[in-house]
Structure 1
Amino acid sequence: MQISVQQAVAQLQQTTGSVFTTVMQHGSMVVELYKPDRIDLQQPHEQDELYVVISGTGEFLNGETKTAFQPGDVLFVQAGVVHRFENFTPDFSTWVIFYGPNGGEAPH
């Protein structure tokens, strides 16, 4: 399985009004392209997730911790944790990778 950023963006543009599109699935893993418009309205998710920032900069709230992000950064969020992107540039987009069981994986 393979998809480019350009292919994922084209797929997203075909889904009128949506800010994400699913581009790949295998077992419990789901990969999406996420491109919020000015405000990130997402809610906590049932699975653990990774974000791989494609473009743009801003701040990421993960629980009570806020950090700056830029292209190439990888951000981890445990299942059920409140999180969102804030103060991001208009060109912001990210890969989102959901994986594992609902409730998240046990820490080592």
Structure 2
Amino acid sequence: MIADDFLKLDEADEAARLQASDNLFHVLFKRDDFSMELFAPRGTDTQTPHTQDEVYVISSGQSQFLRGDQVVSVRAGDALFVPAGMVHRFFDFSDDFRTWVIFFGPEGGCK
């Protein structure tokens, strides 16, 4: 389900929908150049660089995160920024790892 408008998204409810779908991500909201997803990689994170800037807010679990040549440890409550076009991925993530993903701005990223 892609909500056209919402007052509140409940992470636990959206996580249950994501798990039931057998998908790795679930688009929650999209409007113009803004979208919000819930993402739960399994096994290997096979993301490739995106055409928009993005923010991750870790909602559950822990992981290592590669952005360009930088690696950081992340856990629930942490936020990450990735500029458009930059190589990035999660690795060594826990079984309960999930993150909100927010894409925003024009193709090619904000200046």
TM-score, normalized by length of structure 1? 0.92
* 1:7-50 Cα distance to aligned partner (Å, 9 max, x none): 2113213423x100001112211000000112111111000000
- In structure 2, the partner of 1:86 is 91
What percentage of residue pairs aligned between the two structures are identical? Answer: 42
What are the ranges of 5 or more consecutive residues in structure 2 without an aligned counterpart?
A: 1-5
In the alignment, does 2:38 pair up with 1:33?
A: yes
**Number of equivalent positions:** 105
C-alpha distance in structure 2 between counterparts of 1:6 and 1:68, whole Å: 23
Classify the secondary structure of the residue corresponding to 1:12.
helix
What are the ranges of 5 or more consecutive residues in structure 1 without an aligned counterpart?
A: none
C-alpha distance in structure 2 between counterparts of 1:57 and 1:12, whole Å: 18
C-alpha distance in structure 2 between counterparts of 1:58 and 1:9, whole Å: 17
CA RMSD in angstroms comes to 1.0
TM-score, normalized by length of structure 2? 0.90
State whether residues 38 and 90 of structure 1, in contact with CA within 8 Å, keep that contact through their aligned partners in structure 2. no
